[in-house]
Amino acid sequence: MDKKTSVHEDIPLFKQLEKQHPFLLMLYFAMVGSGMLFLFLLVGFTKSLIKVDENLLLLPKAFVISTLLILLSSYFVQKAWQNFLTDEAKSLRQNLLYLLILGFCFSISQVWGWSDLTKQGIGFSGKAAGSYLYVLTGLHILHLLGGLAFVIAQIANYNKACNDGVQALIMFSNKYEKMKMKMLKDYWHFLDVLWIIIFLYLVFKI
Amino acid sequence: MSAVDTQNLETQVHHDEHHDHEHHEQSFIRKYIFSEDHKVIAKQFLITGIFWAVIGGVFSVIFRLQLGFPDANLEVLRPILGGWITEQGKLDQNFYLALVTMHGTIMVFFVLTAGLSGTFSNFLIPLQIGARDMASGFLNMLSYWFFFASSVVMFASIFIQTGPASGGWVIYPPLSALPKASLGSGLGMTMWLVSMALFIVGSLLGSINYVTTVINLRTRGMSMWRLPLTIWAFFLTAVIGILSFPVLFSAALLLIFDRSFGTSFYLDEIYIDGEALHNTGGSALLFQHLFWFLGHPEVYIVLLPALGITSEIIATNSRKPIFGYQAMVLSMLAITFISFIVWAHHMFVTGMNPFLGSVFMLLTLIIAVPSAVKSFNYITTLWRGNIVFTPAMLFSIGLVSFFISGGVTGIALGNSAIDIQLHDTYFVVAHFHLVMGSASFFGMMAGVYHWFPKMFGRMMDEKLGYVHFWITFVGVYFVFFPMHYIGIAGFPRRYYSWTNFDAFNMYADLNMLISIAAIITLSAQFIFMFNFFYSIFYGRLAPLNPWRSNTLEWTTSRLPGHGNWEGKIPTVYRWPYDYSKPGAKEDFIPQHIPHYETLESNLEHEKALEEYDKEVAKEEEIHISSHSH
């Protein structure tokens, strides 16, 4: 009972977490949950590889393009974050617009990858190993579409700030707005890293 | 006495924050149906849980009728079950399987996950950590309504013509993956999967909220080491949920694809009527891995909240500090961690590598260590305490009893060699019904009796509570203890009848005894239900702190409104287990009493806190007055 009453705790990471806005923390935990989902799909995929010929699966070229696109989009979301910190409403909106376009292009490129897969004879309802490629990418796109909805909401949000200096001032000094932007940035990087991990795993496993 | 003083002081000083939450009367719909208030959501979870518990309990009695009285004519049930009673007056065999499956699903997920964790995490987290509400009231509301939608789908599946899912609550493919495989593998299984997908979403929304609330919204002074053990338990339960439910989601998702979109994630080289199916390349065993990666932690999702509730109730009603607070927390942390690396002990007989089996066996047996620490700590807390036998206390002690007697058989079952004989027998049924089913159920009951005054502002009837406890406690042992013997004899679970096996005839009496005990135990639950619903409206008005307890929820008004505390949120100065402190005026010192008010009972190392608490109190006051000007 003696030490319990000590006044200070020294868990630095925990202290940091405590200081975050709850919504941000919730996003992080949701990302952990999503991560588990993808992790176990990758485990299932690995197991299913035992039952297929080595050269049955070919990685569609479109997936390489997607990878470049999402890397580029992560660059723009980082720039948008910088813009928020330096109060540049116009370029902030501009960068979010690029992000939106790249996000859509990424999704289209993924779907294009699916048609490549089908052409190779790897259908959704074929061998299990092939089906995993669809499920992994499909769930990732779903996650990404959620992010895109958020981007659209943010663009609409910053439209006001672009035309009105007072609005901009209010917005950029608002802690809640900053947290929202940080949520967007972190979530987008999560999507990026998630895809890169899936992509690299596929490259080395196929 | 000092408690009363500070409370008065606080209400005098802090009138100013009232403007936050005094006006705006909410409409009926916002207040009771689509409510974002954690207390209302908790009650919604509780009442939905009770509804499901009745259904799950009645189901078990119906299949116990078949097991205990295989020759009986069940024609009386025709008005309820209709076509599921055959022309000979027997229970339909397909429906028997459906009953077993639904009993498991309902009890594990809808009663003990949603009903227990959903109720008490929601109700107690904000109240005990000193928060106005959950981190996100909206997501919290969404969490309940996802659960509600999931309930509606599951409930509807009971009434469809082909019956609900019937492949066991573990829904192993290929039985569950091929709609043709059995009657319940058709529409019933589809609805099961849809319902579970919704359930998982709701559960995740809840868990994320609980974890964030505990980390972010604790009141001043409420360090992690001053949290009541209930909160630690809910916190770790939610962490387990976040890590394991997504895995069940992936398992269910792949199964949905297999059933409806022609994929073969779990299917490989299957023949029906001599004809090969097109599915190749899947693995049925993969499902078991995915399922049990959730399934085993799920045991602790169900059990940990009950253990937390018990810690709190036993300490309060023994009038003693909980024995080994830190050991309790660390053992819960250990259970949380180990729960993720033992799942394959459910799969010893799937043909896994015996070496792998021995690894999982070792890890499984290690769980006995933190579990034993908890058991010892409960018993040593009771040791020489001034025990007050409230109904909640009795149910808590009952939990400890089940936890031990069910846990001991777990040590036997965890051995991969013994499991070859005992796998899927009634020994397993007896083990998990005691250690996880009954123990968690008793934790839930203890929680209801203990926090009913805070939930509804009234007391439940104690005498009815005692009757409820003793019938249930004795009944549970009469139901599950004989099952050990039947299991050792080799009775397989989920079988419709054993009358074809001569070897098992000598156990007919024992089965009958179990069934009679089950009927009596279920009947006793209606005493509780009457007590519960009657007391909501007509119970004796509850005093502010009926159990003379230390935690923060008892510093609120009799029926706390939106925002929980009318004035300022209390500051916390001590841990929650200062019961019977030597020298203290009362045998309890609530958490919000600063050390400078309890000079007579402060221990040597707490002298430094007297000054510190004074400064904290002063700062808080400055903070308040700067607000009001």
- Domains located in chain A, CATH noted: 10-205 (1.20.120.80)
Q: How far is B75 from chain A (nearest CA, A)?
A: 47
Answer whether CATH 1.20.210.10 is correct for domain B34-538: yes
Comparing CB atoms, the residue among A36, A51, A129 nearest residue B246 is A36
Could you read off the pLDDT of B521-558 as tens digits, one per residue? 999 999 999 999 999 999 999 999 999 999 999 999 99
Cβ burial, residue B354 (10 Å; 0-12/13-18/19+): exposed
> Measured between alpha carbons, how far is A117 from A124 in angstroms, rounded to an integer?
9
Residue scoring higher pLDDT (A144 or A12)? A144
Q: Tell me if B528 sits within 8 A of B555, measured CB to CB.
A: no
Tell me the nearest-neighbour CA distance from B332 into chain A, angstroms. Answer: 17
User: Are A128 and B325 within 8 A, CB to CB?
Assistant: no
Q: How far from chain centre, in Å, is Cα B549?
A: 23
Instruction: Give residue B18's pLDDT band: very low, low, confident or very high (50, 70, 90).
Output: very low
CB atoms B208 and A29 under 8 Å = yes
User: Does A13 touch chain B if contact means CB atoms closer than 8 Å?
Assistant: no
Residues B291/A55, Cβ–Cβ less than 8 Å: no
Spell out which residues of chain B touch residue A117, defining contact as CB-CB under 8 Å.
none
- Strands B275-276 and B271-272, by their bridges, are antiparallel
Nearest to B247 among A11, A21, A40 (CB): A40
Identify all chain B residues contacting A22, using CB atoms and an 8 Å cutoff. 135-136, 212-213, 216-217
Question: Which pLDDT belongs to residue B25?
Answer: 67
pLDDT tens by residue, B128-145: 999 999 999 999 999 999
- Nearest CA to B264 among B286, B282, B291? B282
User: What is the reported pLDDT for B627?
Assistant: 55
- CA A25 – CA A3 distance, rounded (Å): 29
Tell whether A138 is within 8 A of chain B (Cβ). Answer: no
| B529 to B161, B182, B533: CA distances (angstroms) | 31, 36, 6
> pLDDT-derived band of residue B412, with 50, 70 and 90 as boundaries?
very high
Average pLDDT for chain A: 89
Question: In this structure, is the dihedral angle defined by the CA atoms of residues B238, B244, B246 and B249, taken in order, positive or negative?
Answer: negative
B173 shares contact with chain A (CB less than 8 Å): no
Looking from the CA of B603 toward its CB, the CA atoms found within 13 Å total 11
Q: Which residues of B touch A3 (CB under 8 A)?
A: 326
Q: Which residues of B touch A2 (CB under 8 A)?
A: 605
In the predicted structure, residue B22 carries a pLDDT above the cut 90: no
For residue B12, what are the contacts with CB-CB under 8 A and spacing of at least 6?
A: none
Under an 8 A CB cutoff, do A127 and B243 touch?
A: no
Q: Residue A17: what pLDDT?
A: 85
- For B281, the closest of A23, A32, A128 (CB atoms) is A128
Q: In sequence order, what are the beta bridge partners of B425? A: B492
- At residue B373 the predicted structure's pLDDT band, cuts being 50, 70 and 90, is very high
Distance (Å, whole) CA A107 – CA A95: 18
- What's the average model confidence in pLDDT over B335-344? 95
Question: Looking at the partner chain, which of B242, B278, B326 has a beta carbon nearest the beta carbon of A4?
Answer: B326
pLDDT band at A122 (very low <50, low <70, confident <90, very high): confident
Average pLDDT of A134-160?
93
**CB of B380 less than 8 A from some CB of A:** no
Which pLDDT does position A50 carry in this prediction? 85
Angstrom distance (rounded) from CA B255 to CA B279? 13
pLDDT tens for each residue of A53-67: 766 777 899 999 999
State both tokens at B193: 């999967």
Going by pLDDT thresholds of 50, 70 and 90, the confidence category of residue B9 is very low
Name the helix (H) or strand (E) containing B17: none
pLDDT digits 0-9 by tens, B569-580: 999 999 999 999
Q: Is the dihedral of CA B589, B591, B592, B595 positive or negative?
A: positive
Please report, to the nearest 10 degrees, the dihedral formed by the alpha carbons of residues B485, B487, B489, B494 taken in order.
Answer: 140
* Least-confidence region, from A153-157, B39-43, B122-126, B366-370: A153-157
Distance from C-alpha of B389 to C-alpha of B449, rounded to nearest angstrom? 12
A167 interfaces chain B, CB cutoff of 8 Å: no
What is residue A127's predicted lDDT score, i.e. its pLDDT?
84
**CB-based contacts of B572: which residues, under 8 Å, 6+ apart?**
B130, B219, B220, B221, B222, B226, B552, B591, B592
Picking from A2, A3, A4 by the largest number of B CB atoms within 10 A of its own CB, the best residue to mutate is A4
Flag whether residue A170 sits within 8 Å of chain B, measured between CB atoms: no
For A125, which of B246, B261, B575 is closest by C-beta distance? B261
- Mean residue pLDDT of chain B comes to 92
Name the percent of chain B lying above pLDDT 90: 84
Quote the pLDDT of residue B20: 44
Q: Smallest Cβ distance to B246: which of A34, A124, A125? A: A34
**Which residue of chain B has the CA closest to A132?**
B265
pLDDT of residue B403: 96
CA torsion through residues B149, B150, B153, B155, sign: negative
- Where in chain B are the domains? 1-33+563-629, 34-538
Q: Under DSSP, is residue B436 helix (H, G, I), strand (E, B) or coil?
A: helix
B225, A132: Cβ pair inside 8 Å? Answer: no
Q: What is the ipTM of this complex?
A: 0.90
Alpha helices for B281-353 (secondary structure H) = 284-318, 325-338
Please give the average per-residue pLDDT across A73-95, as a whole number.
Answer: 92
Residues of chain B positioned with their CB less than 8 A from the CB of A25 = 135, 211-212, 215-216
CA neighbor of B288 nearest in space, from B347, B339, B345, B230? B347
Q: Is the pLDDT of residue B378 over 90?
A: yes
φ and ψ at residue A55, rounded to 5 degrees: -100, 20
CB contact under 8 A, A48 and B281: yes
Task: Return residues 213-232 of B near A (CB < 8 Å).
Answer: 213, 215-217, 223-226
Question: What CA–CA distance (Å, rounded) separates B465 from B468?
Answer: 5
A24 interfacial to chain B (CB closer than 8 Å): no
Could you tell me which of A190, A200, A198 has the C-alpha nearest to residue A33?
A: A190
- The per-residue pLDDT for range B241-276, each reduced to its tens digit, is 999 999 999 999 999 999 999 899 999 888 988 888
Within 8 A by CB and 6+ apart from B26, the residues are B562
What pLDDT is stored for residue B86 in this prediction? 92
How confident is the model over B209-247, as pLDDT tens digits? 999 999 999 999 999 999 999 999 999 999 999 999 999
A19: helix, strand or coil:
helix
Chain-chain contact of A9 with B326 (C-beta, under 8 angstroms):
no
Predicted pLDDT of residue B24: 59
Q: What pLDDT does residue B6 have?
A: 39
Spatial CA neighbour of B244 closest among B202, B298, B198: B298
Confidence of residue B427 (pLDDT cuts 50, 70, 90): very high
CB-based contacts of B242, cutoff 8 Å, min separation 6 = A29, A32, A33, A36, B204, B207, B208, B211
CA distance B184 to B101: 10
Cα dihedral angle (B14, B590, B208, A11), rounded to 10 degrees? 100
CB nearest B212 (choices: A1, A25, A129): A25
Helix B462-488 × helix B439-456 angle, to 10°: 160
3-state SS assignment for residue B85: strand
Which of A200-204, B34-38, B527-531: highest mean pLDDT? B527-531
pLDDT level of residue B7 (50, 70, 90 thresholds): very low
Residue B363, classified by CB atoms within 10 Å of its CB into exposed (0-12), middle (13-18) or buried (19+), is middle
A179 in B contact zone (CB under 8 Å)? no
Structural contact between residues A76 and A185, judged by C-beta atoms closer than 8 angstroms: no
User: In 3D, which of B133, B136, B440, B119 has the Cα closest to residue B303?
Assistant: B440
Residue B82: half-sphere exposure toward Cβ, Cα within 13 Å:
7
To the nearest whole angstrom, how far is the Cα of B477 from the nearest Cα of chain A? 37
Nearest to B222 by CA among B503, B516, B591: B591
pLDDT at B211: 96
The token pair at B524 is 């006793």
- Chain A residue numbers touching B283 (CB-CB < 8 A): 44, 47-48, 51, 128
- The tokens describing B147, both together, are 């659960």
Q: How far is CA A179 from CA A31, A186, B307, B437, in A?
A: 16, 10, 37, 43
